[in-house]
Amino acid sequence: MIEFEALKANSLDEALDVLVEKKDKVKMVSGGTDMLVQIHHESEDLKGMNFLLDISSIPGLGGIEDKGKYMKLGALCTHNEIIDSQLVNEKLQILQQAAQVIGSTQIRNRGTVGGNINNASPAADLVTALIALEASVVLQSKHEKRELSLSEFVTGPYCTDRNEDEIMTEVKVPYIQGEYFENYQKVKRRQAVAIARINLAVITKIKNNRFDDIRVVFGSATPTAMRFRDIEKKINGTELAEINYEKLAQKTGQEMIGFTGERWSTPYKKPVVGNLLKRALRNIVKEVQ
């Protein structure tokens, strides 16, 4: 049984003071959809945790705001807030597509953007979409604030670049300018509540009936969600009517193996990543036409 003392912070300064004082003995919780499961299963990752700090009531860390060139997602913003947001619906629909397939209604009501990102699961639905949108995160400590891209922040499976004295306060999502099309795909074990076996976010501009500035990001196919740059290069500049879906599917599987090597799951994942990309591109072409 994991024993710890529960603490509650009512302000950002109060929470930062606790992080400085308790150092690596404290873990933070907001929605608790991942943390409570870890506690129940007595996860090895929680060994050495003496304090559990509840940050869910800190003012100013929630909400969704239009900041002109980008959208601000507060770290305590829930998945259902994204789904219900008119601003997200108008500006960044792929975020809604990703949020809609997260867990159950109860999980979407409790789970937060910051929790989804900081947990750094390779299968995190929002992370895949946010990397495609070239989002960045803002981290605050007692003495400084820093910003880094989400792809830099997630350093490995369940690992991030957050220092023990920092709190993620917001996610900055730049608006995409021009005629862009978006598509989100997810494969899971069943249609009910399930973690993604593989997910995919595709964002592309269509310029002169050609793919342009395409971003292809897979989650769970690789140790962390990441862009498939070689596939992007092969698609960029291709006319919609000339896209070779089968060849791209094969190349997508090869690029995945380049990241992961041959593993026990490769025979399953290799065709799936290719089929997901085919489905996403066909949906985009259909929408354009």
Higher pLDDT, 152 or 44: 152
Confidence (pLDDT) at 193:
45
List the structure tokens of 56. Answer: 């869910």
CA 180 to chain centre: 20
Confidence (pLDDT) at 177:
85
H or E element: which one contains 138?
strand 136-140
- In degrees, rounded to 5, the angle at the alpha carbon of residue 262 between the alpha carbons of residues 256 and 267 is 80
Q: Per-residue pLDDT tens for 239-266?
A: 999 999 999 999 999 999 999 998 888 8
Q: Per-residue pLDDT tens for 23-40?
A: 889 999 998 877 877 887
Global pTM exceeds 0.85: yes
Rounded Cα distance between 102 and 85, Å, is 16
Higher pLDDT, 42 or 204: 204
> What domains can be seen in the chain, in order of their start residue?
5-54 (no CATH), 64-174 (3.30.465.10), 180-288 (3.30.390.50)
Confidence (pLDDT) at 45:
78
Q: Per-residue pLDDT tens for 160-175?
A: 999 999 999 999 999 9
Rounded Cα distance between 187 and 176, Å, is 26
* 191 pLDDT higher than 80: no
* 190 pLDDT higher than 50: no
Mean confidence (pLDDT) of the chain: 92
